[in-house]
Structure 1
């Protein structure tokens, strides 16, 4: 075993290849311009795991992210992240925090959205709350698709998006994130906010 492996643990690509095998997903090796990634199919949806680099001018910050495009039926959007100093500052600046009716959960997270009733229905699903609570850090939201994969998405397609600083190499945590995406996408269908169709096919 190499000295670097002893010091820093297994390489990201080694872990992600193992992840792909265990969840029956596709591991796509990166090249000079592109990072490696893992793509898993959940019914008609594709959940993609990759890393993203942001330059601050003096340094590069690496993020781990997961994204899944889907057809947003009613424009429902939400964002959830753990409470902390900046979240409390945001509340003082007027950011709206919605309580979804589960005190232990509400105490841990800032939850925002454009439909309070849909937020409450989404987080009524106990598995979704449990999987979110398992994440030591989380920023999860529905936002506009950003043209990733050089694909032009239909106008009603949004994406479920997760992003945190650093490279996640914990297989159990990554499996939990894929499960979380599956649970949320299915729940969005149940509450009338998503279609279980291929998001890259125009609806009639």
Structure 2
């Protein structure tokens, strides 16, 4: 009887050892797998939108200049009045040099003498407005006359004409006053100046 009990006891011990060994082995296997880092599945790639180049906006074109309306005035700085420089005076407010040819040295500045009557009337015009009048062109040599687009028989060539403006005074008012003084006048609205001449000298 004792030997039977002993056999059963040994059999139970063997079964416990087997079961315990199996459980231990199984847990060891699971722990090993858990400790090995598993590769994470790749993140789904997002499709990139095709890059489109945005064209640079073109700079706006500057507005085209409009022709000045009648009654407009030239806004230029005024010279000293009278202009204090050396040289002979054409009249009380004008130096002779103001009427000289402004070419680039093609002549000595005086291809012809200025008409005294013209000088007198321009001085009277200056006194009428009681403010400076600017001479932009007096006598011209033929080469200078061609450069500025003057007509072939321009009276500038013989000293019988001058181009001028009065700062702050509309060109048409200057033209009206010049006509009242007996001067011939051609108005240049786009450039805001007047051409004055002595008609009596025409042949």
TM-score (norm 1): 0.32
TM-score (norm 2): 0.32
Larger strand proportion, structure 1 or 2? 1
